[in-house]
Amino acid sequence: MLNEILGATARSEDIGTRTAAGDAPARPGWTAPAKPASGDPVADLREAILAKLAYAIGKTPETARERDWFAATALALRDRIVDACMDGRSTSIPNKRVYYLSLEFLIGRLLSDAMNNLGLVDTTRRALRDLGIELGDVEAAEPDAALGNGGLGRLAACFMESMASLSIPAIGYGIRYDHGLFKQSLEDGWQKEAPETWLAEGNPWEFVRPEATYTIGFGGHVTMSAISDGVIRRHWHPAETVRAVAHDVPVVGWRGKHVNTLRLWKAEANSPLELAQFNGGDHVGAVAARSKVEAISRVLYPSDSSESGQELRLRQEYFFTSASLQDLVSRHVAERGDLRSLPDHAAIQLNDTHPAIAVPELMRILLEDHGLAWEDAWHITTHTLSYTNHTLLPEALETWPVELMERLLPRHMQIIYLINWMHLEEQGRHGRADAAQLASVSLIDEANGKRVRMGHLAFLGARRVNGVSALHTDLMRSTVFKDLHALDTDKIVNKTNGITFRRWFHNCNPELTKLAVEVVGERVLDDPEALLGLADYAADSAFQARYAAMRTSRKEALAKVVAENSGIVVDPSALFDTQIKRIHEYKRQLLNVIETVALYQAIKAEPHKDWTPRVKIFGGKAAPSYVQAKLIIKLACDVAKLVNSDPDIAGRLKVVFLPNYRVSLAEAIIPGSDLSEQISTAGMEASGTGNMKLALNGALTVGTLDGANIEIRDHVGADNIFIFGLDAAGVQKRAAEPDYAARAIAASPRLSAALDFIEAGGFSPEERGRFQPIVDDLRHNDRYLLTVDFDDYWRVQREIDAAWIDKASWWKKAILNTARMAWFSSDRSMREYADDIWRVKVG
Ligand SMILES: *Cc1c(COP(=O)(O)O)cnc(C)c1O
């Protein structure tokens, strides 16, 4: 890993230096250049930061802005990360590496991660304080690296951190988008999107690696030639090419024991401008081609579990997949010589189908660039790749039109056809020639104008295919992949998601971490299972008081964030009820909003009753083209406006929609939350990870039996979670009944009254019909069975109101949640992947 961090990139010229296959050549050693050291860590870091400020940023302490201090601090810490590569580890080549391919890495800020994992939080705080600078201000000056939409991208970031912490040699591969996920603002309750500009002032964490540049082709045609033994070879002649340039971000693991690399590709044109054209006076035209090519890494697609992509999206997918495979193949050749041993030394994980083009691309590289026979290439491919599925929603299963694939990737389309032909032939040989069954396992969906099914492609090319929670994996086997599963029943395995405790516990909630360390000892920082020791104190009133005090202080901090971001004043003694995640109909924010409306009506009807004070906190972005999701945000904001200002409510119900939900905002909201809303339609949320972050921090879950909620219930205990609604089988059954929504509404006076009020313009007097599309959909369609689950959701919410009053019982449940969430550490997920899927040694 060291040489990777330091820029030694295997390249094809190195092939000549290889030793016998399987026998890795030794790399030259490296020693850190001597640095002046006073023996005082605070003084040393302070001087290092000052030196960076002067020599790397060109500023004096007097002229430095917070952002400059951040860059200087990050650069000083980056040096320590490079040094950490040295300590206690050899510079030899690891026997096997994991390559994690993901179109998204939703990283957030890196400074607190780096400081915490290097054990330098206090040292940095004191070094900066010596200089009259507050660490908190410096941390706040770091822009979030938002190279992802939501759960899928955040999972990739958690996995990278965990692999580094477990010393699993790994390289993450993705795209270095100029612009990450859009910035969300609310204008009169309507979502507005603005471009995100995290790179505007550079990125102090990254190393640019111009020497690791690969050429990526698009379009063109394929020719054939016969080679001596009569075998026909094909050659792809792309019409256009673009260069992928590596940018490396070091990922330091817990206690600085191991450092991995996140390698992000930037698209660059072959030549910056057409000089002849420029000299001819066409100054704009001379750079137009460059601008088109470089659009590939310009911006993250802001869609999440929805809508099919555009051509540029396919270009992004192929661009980063091809660059990554070329990189890892040339590294393997340089280190090991023979590509036949690739499966022994490389495990490639495809995060969703976005890199599924890896299947034909690896085949192409092996066949064309390295002259392997088809059978050998297929063996290598299917023993190196594995695929993680993230959704079963039909609209989110990726397919590409054959016509587009033929135009953009003609050679890959040929390979896909050949894979499919052999796959379908084999079915015939096994006597499975039933037309419907063949159509269901084919790589080509013929029903919708001929499209390539990327999930099927990834399935066939993978050694293992995994779901991300027990329920989701079962549903994979019984629904979308049913027929493919029948052909190879060992292929699908479950790997329930996890979260890194370093970010979602230690860094975001130092007070709770301190409490845990005091009670169960330091080892809790290294072994989350030690958290179980907290369970012994769950009913201890002295410990409960300390736990409650921790929560109060986090809620006061959150109340400040709420006031700053929304202008709404909330009372930290109220129940803080949180739903933070992408806005999507299947996640059912609308169920929560309509329950809020019903609660508002109930308080209005009986204003003198003893209502449990609640603050409903919402956060989340809607895909810019997702009209219904944006209307749900507007409804939440309009409900907030009326409810928050109604004197009858007297502050007992407050509604807040916090704009621009992102990792750093999540870190502020989660420790201050009492209740975690995980209310998706059962069978639709593959896993969820927000549910884990909140439960770990002691929020009680109100949820359906969906995704990882089921496993959370199994761990925390049914008494310590609030479950409601239909389960996945119940949803399937009910959805098949005619008029289920109309009947559910007719059976629920409370739901009817809430819908009538919305429909009558109760929250939009200036535009009565504003929310008609929402009400109409619920009355006549309701694909997400909100109406069916409504009454049970209302029931469980009133149960929660009552539970909140009994504080001793509430805190006991909360403490048991924290104590019993250890299993949901992404360290556990990564160990399982390492053992079952990658077969790579941990540590
Ligand atoms: C964890 C996280 C998510 C995923 O949340 P879910 O509730 O699992 O959908 C999305 N966005 C951010 C910023 C996160 O931190």
pLDDT digits (tens, 9 = 90+) for 503-523: 999 999 999 999 999 999 999
Q: What is the pLDDT of residues 206-227, one digit of tens each?
A: 999 999 999 999 999 999 988 7
The residue length of the chain stands at: 843
Residue of 591, 593, 621, 574 lying closest to 185 (CA atoms): 621
> 581 C-alpha to center of ligand 1: Å?
5
Burial category of 447 from C-beta neighbours within 10 Å (exposed 0-12, middle 13-18, buried 19 and up): exposed
> 7 C-alpha to center of ligand 1: Å?
33
Q: Write out the H or E segment, with its range, that includes residue 794.
A: helix 786-805
Question: Nearest residue CA, atom 1 of ligand 1?
Answer: 690
User: Would you say the CB of residue 688 lies under 6 angstroms from ligand 1?
Assistant: yes
Q: How many angstroms separate the CA atoms of 451 and 647, rounded?
A: 57
Instruction: Name, in order, each residue with C-beta under 8 angstroms of 814's C-beta and a sequence gap of 6 or more.
Output: 547, 551, 674, 698, 699, 700
> 621 C-alpha to center of ligand 1: Å?
11
Contact present, 496 and 687 (Cβ < 8 Å):
yes
Residue 449 has pLDDT above 60, yes or no: yes
Question: Nearest residue CA, atom 11 of ligand 1?
Answer: 150
Which atom of ligand 1 is found nearest the CA of 689?
A: 8
Helix-strand-coil percent breakdown of the chain, rounded to 5? 50, 15, 35
User: Would you say the CB of residue 690 lies under 6 angstroms from ligand 1?
Assistant: yes
Instruction: Name, in order, each residue with C-beta under 8 angstroms of 255's C-beta and a sequence gap of 6 or more.
Output: 117, 119, 526
Q: Is 403 helix (H, G, I), strand (E, B) or coil?
A: helix
Q: Which two tokens stand for residue 354?
A: 């976005």
Q: pLDDT grade, residue 12 (50/70/90)?
A: very low
Average pLDDT over all residues of the chain: 93
Question: Nearest residue CA, atom 7 of ligand 1?
Answer: 690
* Sign (positive or negative) of CA dihedral 36, 39, 44, 46: negative
Which atom of ligand 1 is found nearest the CA of 587?
A: 9
Contact present, 466 and 493 (Cβ < 8 Å):
yes
Which atom of ligand 1 is found nearest the CA of 662?
A: 13
pLDDT of residue 14: 36
Q: What is the pLDDT of residues 383-412, one digit of tens each?
A: 999 999 999 999 889 999 999 999 999 999
> Which residue(s) pair with 520 in the sheet?
none
> 754 C-alpha to center of ligand 1: Å?
29
Please choose from 155, 582, 678 the residue to mutate so as to test ligand 1's pocket, defined by most ligand atoms within 8 A of CB. 582
> 152 C-alpha to center of ligand 1: Å?
8
Residue of 154, 152, 171 lying closest to 163 (CA atoms): 171
Residue that has been written with the tokens 């400040």 in this structure: 560
Could you tell me how far CA 400 lies from the centroid of its own chain? 23
Residue 231 has pLDDT above 90, yes or no: no
Q: Are strands 170-175 and 97-101 parallel, antiparallel or unpaired?
A: parallel
What domains lie within the chain, and their CATH numbers?
A: 1-92+116-143 (no CATH), 96-108+144-495 (3.40.50.2000), 518-726+789-824 (3.40.50.2000)
Please choose from 154, 181, 617 the residue to mutate so as to test ligand 1's pocket, defined by most ligand atoms within 8 A of CB. 154
pLDDT of residue 299: 96
User: Would you say the CB of residue 250 lies under 6 angstroms from ligand 1?
Assistant: no
> Which residue(s) pair with 387 in the sheet?
350, 465
Which atom of ligand 1 is found nearest the CA of 663?
A: 13
User: Would you say the CB of residue 689 lies under 6 angstroms from ligand 1?
Assistant: yes
Q: What is the pLDDT of residues 453-508, one digit of tens each?
A: 999 999 999 999 999 999 999 999 999 999 999 999 999 999 999 999 999 999 99
* Sign (positive or negative) of CA dihedral 683, 684, 686, 691: negative
Q: What is the pLDDT of residues 533-577, one digit of tens each?
A: 999 999 999 999 999 999 999 999 999 999 999 999 999 999 999
Which atom of ligand 1 is found nearest the CA of 678?
A: 7
The beta-strand segments (E) located in 679-833 are 700-703, 722-723
Using the 8-state DSSP alphabet, how is residue 719 labeled?
G
pLDDT of residue 37: 81
User: Would you say the CB of residue 814 lies under 6 angstroms from ligand 1?
Assistant: no
Which atom of ligand 1 is found nearest the CA of 665?
A: 13
> Which residue(s) pair with 347 in the sheet?
98
pTM of the full structure: 0.95
pLDDT (mean) for 714-720? 98
Contact present, 333 and 339 (Cβ < 8 Å):
yes
Q: Which two tokens stand for residue 79?
A: 């040096």
Q: What is the pLDDT of residues 322-377, one digit of tens each?
A: 999 999 999 999 999 999 999 999 999 999 999 999 999 999 999 999 999 999 99
pLDDT of residue 448: 81
pLDDT (mean) for 84-96? 73
User: Angle, to 10 degrees, between the axis of helix 410-429 and the axis of helix 454-461?
Assistant: 70
Q: Which two tokens stand for residue 13?
A: 């010229």
Could you tell me how far CA 767 lies from the centroid of its own chain? 38
Using the 8-state DSSP alphabet, how is residue 28 labeled?
P
Residue 18 has pLDDT above 80, yes or no: no
Using the 8-state DSSP alphabet, how is residue 718 labeled?
G
> Which residue(s) pair with 587 in the sheet?
none
Residue of 798, 805, 803, 806 lying closest to 603 (CA atoms): 798
Contact present, 388 and 352 (Cβ < 8 Å):
yes
Q: How many angstroms separate the CA atoms of 494 and 464, rounded?
A: 10
> 620 C-alpha to center of ligand 1: Å?
9
Q: Is 272 helix (H, G, I), strand (E, B) or coil?
A: coil
Residue of 585, 593, 587 lying closest to 797 (CA atoms): 593
Contact present, 74 and 142 (Cβ < 8 Å):
yes
What's the 3-state SS for 593-629? Answer: HHHHHHHHHHHHHCCCCCCCCEEEEEECCCCCCCHHH
User: Would you say the CB of residue 243 lies under 6 angstroms from ligand 1?
Assistant: no
Q: Write out the H or E segment, with its range, that includes residue 401.
A: strand 399-401
Cα–Cα distance list, 588 to 80, 193, 304, 563, 724 (Å): 45, 22, 15, 26, 14
> 524 C-alpha to center of ligand 1: Å?
25
> 306 C-alpha to center of ligand 1: Å?
16
Return left, alpha or beta for 748; rule: phi > 0 is left, psi -120 to 50 is alpha, else beta.
Answer: beta
User: Would you say the CB of residue 151 lies under 6 angstroms from ligand 1?
Assistant: yes
Using the 8-state DSSP alphabet, how is residue 517 labeled?
H
Q: What is the pLDDT of residues 635-693, one digit of tens each?
A: 999 999 999 999 999 989 999 999 999 999 999 999 999 999 999 999 999 999 999 99
Which atom of ligand 1 is found nearest the CA of 687?
A: 8
Question: Nearest-5° angle of CA 523, CA 830, CA 841?
Answer: 90
pLDDT of residue 11: 39
pLDDT of residue 274: 72
Residue 272 has pLDDT above 90, yes or no: no
Instruction: Name, in order, each residue with C-beta under 8 angstroms of 505's C-beta and a sequence gap of 6 or more.
Output: 512, 513, 696, 697
Question: Nearest residue CA, atom 5 of ligand 1?
Answer: 690
pLDDT (mean) for 83-95? 72
Return left, alpha or beta for 285; rule: phi > 0 is left, psi -120 to 50 is alpha, else beta.
Answer: alpha
Using the 8-state DSSP alphabet, how is residue 26 labeled?
P
Q: Write out the H or E segment, with its range, that includes residue 49.
A: helix 41-52
Residue 28 has pLDDT above 70, yes or no: no
User: Would you say the CB of residue 109 lies under 6 angstroms from ligand 1?
Assistant: no
Which atom of ligand 1 is found nearest the CA of 620?
A: 11
Contact present, 10 and 330 (Cβ < 8 Å):
yes
> 353 C-alpha to center of ligand 1: Å?
20
pLDDT of residue 307: 52
pLDDT of residue 306: 52
Q: Which two tokens stand for residue 633?
A: 């945000």
User: Would you say the CB of residue 581 lies under 6 angstroms from ligand 1?
Assistant: yes
Please choose from 104, 105, 106, 664 the residue to mutate so as to test ligand 1's pocket, defined by most ligand atoms within 8 A of CB. 106
Which atom of ligand 1 is found nearest the CA of 692?
A: 8
Enumerate the active-site residues.
Answer: 390, 581-582, 587, 689, 693
pLDDT of residue 32: 67
Q: Which two tokens stand for residue 446?
A: 């013929």
Using the 8-state DSSP alphabet, how is residue 228 labeled?
T
pLDDT of residue 269: 94
- Single-letter amino acid code for the residue at 527: D
Using the 8-state DSSP alphabet, how is residue 94 labeled?
P
Q: What is the pLDDT of residues 275-332, one digit of tens each?
A: 777 788 887 877 788 888 899 999 999 986 655 568 999 999 999 999 999 999 999 9
Please choose from 390, 684, 689, 692 the residue to mutate so as to test ligand 1's pocket, defined by most ligand atoms within 8 A of CB. 689
User: Would you say the CB of residue 663 lies under 6 angstroms from ligand 1?
Assistant: yes
Contact present, 402 and 413 (Cβ < 8 Å):
yes
User: Would you say the CB of residue 662 lies under 6 angstroms from ligand 1?
Assistant: yes
User: Would you say the CB of residue 630 lies under 6 angstroms from ligand 1?
Assistant: no
> 583 C-alpha to center of ligand 1: Å?
11
Residue 247 has pLDDT above 80, yes or no: yes
Question: Nearest residue CA, atom 9 of ligand 1?
Answer: 581
> 587 C-alpha to center of ligand 1: Å?
12
pLDDT of residue 4: 56
Q: pLDDT grade, residue 27 (50/70/90)?
A: very low
Question: Nearest residue CA, atom 6 of ligand 1?
Answer: 690
Query: 21 — phi, psi (to 5°)?
Result: -55, 140
Contact present, 656 and 592 (Cβ < 8 Å):
no
> 635 C-alpha to center of ligand 1: Å?
22
> Which residue(s) pair with 399 in the sheet?
453
Return left, alpha or beta for 309; rule: phi > 0 is left, psi -120 to 50 is alpha, else beta.
Answer: beta
